């Protein structure tokens, strides 16, 4: 993998870059739609590619390991062949999901024991087997196995947790470097910087991750219950330490406003379930503000769902129609809102890139943040 830094905004830490993988190039800052089980919920691959123009999507190790399982993924020749997505894929390591979804989990130095949320079966994840699993899934970018403590954790808990995550990270790096990709294209491993809301822990974590000299880095453990101002200041602290010439990925964030604030603090990559999860319930993000399409006020509004929108669904369906679909529990309503929201997130990062390249990002961001915070 290769990362080229292209331009830096004169009035903030925002940057544009180009990431090259064996499955194609990614322009940064980028938003990555979440396809937990190898599918972006309600959106098929042609819509993702042609309508939304997604440059990279996510998969999740915890979910894919449980279903369909490594046997099927290996026989398929990896996730790209299995799901028919030919552009880049990133997989999260499963650390976060083990702690948020699995039952009866038990953490030891060796790894995490847990019971499947599907059938209660018992499993054990270690840094080593999570690397092997991500080799088998075959994503272009794979993530280290980490513990993500809640944003309200004490200093003592966060410090011990970080030290465990750092020991796990070293084991991940060792295993990753000792093994080869399975399908003929290269893979790269991103460390995850933890440390909760504590400056010194974050600095220590970022220095340790940077010393491992990888091709990119992730910031984890944010948007997990801490105040939003703490999230922004932790991003600043970490990005001061991480190398400027490598991509930075902020995991699981966030609202359109969160994304612009993080871009202005030097983040390059994002993922979040919000555009699809909230979309399925009729929440629509637009450049003029957020719409809850279920509200009565839209019942006879026949204007397009987003007149400024870039995707097919924006011009071709009215608010009243989509409100009717969501109200009636029709699948198409969830699909339309998901496609719209993803296209909007991809539009937002594309605009951000254009403004960074033009040197006008900081002033554009101020205006956009005000509009985006509006409830229509
Ligand atoms: N670690 C991992 N995945 C994640 C997170 C993390 O801290 C987060 C936190 N926002 C989202 N997804 N492995």
For residue 225, what are the contacts with CB-CB under 8 A and spacing of at least 6? 150, 151, 152
Return d(Cα 169, Cα 145) in angstroms, integer. Answer: 7
Q: Is the separation of the CB atoms in 249 and 190 below 8 Å?
A: yes
State the catalytic residue, choosing from 92, 268, 306, 314.
92
Model confidence pLDDT, tens digit, residues 35-74: 999 999 999 999 999 999 999 999 999 999 999 999 999 9
Domains of the chain: 2-272 (3.20.20.105)
Report the nearest-CA residue for atom 3 of ligand 1. 96
pLDDT of residue 183: 98
Overall average pLDDT of the 245-267 stretch: 98
pLDDT at 99: 85
CA of 310 to the centre of ligand 1 (A): 30
Is 271 a residue of the active site? yes
Q: What 8-state DSSP symbol labels residue 297? A: G
Atom of ligand 1 nearest to the CA of 143: 13
> Which residues are annotated as part of the binding site for substrate?
92-96, 146, 194, 221
Instruction: State mean pLDDT over 356-365.
Output: 97
ipTM exceeding 0.95, yes/no:
yes
Asked if residue 60 has its Cβ within 6 Å of ligand 1, the reply is no
Distance 25 CA to ligand 1 centre (A): 24
270 lines ligand 1 (CB under 6 A): no
Q: How many Å apart are CA 364 and CA 356, to the nearest integer?
A: 9
Question: Is there a contact between 129 and 168 (Cβ–Cβ < 8 Å)?
Answer: no
Half-sphere exposure of 289 (CA within 13 A, CB side): 9
Q: Compute the distance from residue 97 Cα to the ligand 1 centre, in Å.
A: 8
* Cβ neighbours of 121 (radius 10 Å): 9
Give ∠ CA 255-260-262 in degrees, rounded to 5: 90
* Confidence bin at 32 (pLDDT 50/70/90): very high
Residue range 110-134, pLDDT digits in tens: 999 999 999 999 999 999 999 999 9
Q: Kindly report whether the global pTM for this prediction surpasses the value 0.90.
A: yes
- Among residues 361, 258, 349, 247, the alpha carbon closest in space to that of 8 is found at 361
């Amino acid at each position: 993998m290769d990362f080229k830094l292209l331009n830096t905004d004169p009035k903030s830490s925002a940057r544009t870059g180009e990431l090259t993988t064996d499955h194609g190039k990614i322009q940064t800052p980028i938003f990555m739609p979440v396809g937990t089980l190898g599918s972006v919920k309600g959106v098929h691959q042609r819509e993702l590619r042609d309508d939304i123009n997604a440059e990279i999507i996510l998969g999740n190790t915890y979910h894919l390991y449980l279903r369909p399982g490594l046997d099927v993924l290996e026989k398929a020749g990896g996730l790209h062949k299995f799901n028919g997505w030919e552009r880049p894929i990133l997989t999260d390591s499963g650390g976060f999901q083990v702690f948020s979804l699995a039952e009866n989990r038990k953490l030891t130095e060796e790894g995490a024991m847990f019971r499947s949320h599907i059938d209660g079966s018992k499993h054990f994840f270690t840094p080593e087997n999570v690397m092997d699993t991500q080799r088998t899934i075959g994503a272009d970018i794979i993530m280290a196995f980490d513990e993500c403590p809640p944003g309200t954790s004490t200093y003592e808990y966060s410090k011990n947790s970080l030290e465990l995550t750092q020991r796990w990270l070293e084991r991940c790096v060792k295993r990753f470097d000792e093994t080869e990709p399975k399908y003929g294209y290269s893979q790269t491993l991103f460390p995850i910087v933890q440390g909760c809301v504590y400056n010194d822990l974050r600095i220590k974590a970022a220095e340790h991750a940077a010393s491992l000299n990888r091709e990119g880095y992730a910031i984890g453990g944010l948007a997990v219950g801490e105040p939003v101002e703490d999230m922004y200041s932790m991003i600043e602290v970490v990005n001061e330490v991480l190398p400027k010439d490598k991509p930075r990925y902020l995991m699981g964030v966030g609202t359109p406003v969160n994304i612009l604030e993080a871009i202005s603090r030097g983040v390059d990559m994002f993922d979040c379930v919000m555009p699809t999860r909230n979309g399925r319930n009729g929440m629509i993000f637009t450049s003029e503000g957020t719409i809850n399409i279920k509200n009565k006020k839209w019942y006879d509004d026949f204007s397009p769902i987003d007149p400024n929108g870039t995707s097919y669904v924006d011009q071709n369906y009215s608010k009243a129609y989509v409100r009717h679909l969501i109200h009636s529990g029709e699948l198409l309503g969830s699909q339309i809102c998901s496609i719209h929201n993803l296209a909007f997130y991809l539009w937002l990062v594309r605009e951000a890139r254009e403004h960074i390249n033009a040197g006008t990002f900081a002033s554009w961001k101020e205006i956009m943040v005000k509009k985006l915070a509006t409830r229509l």
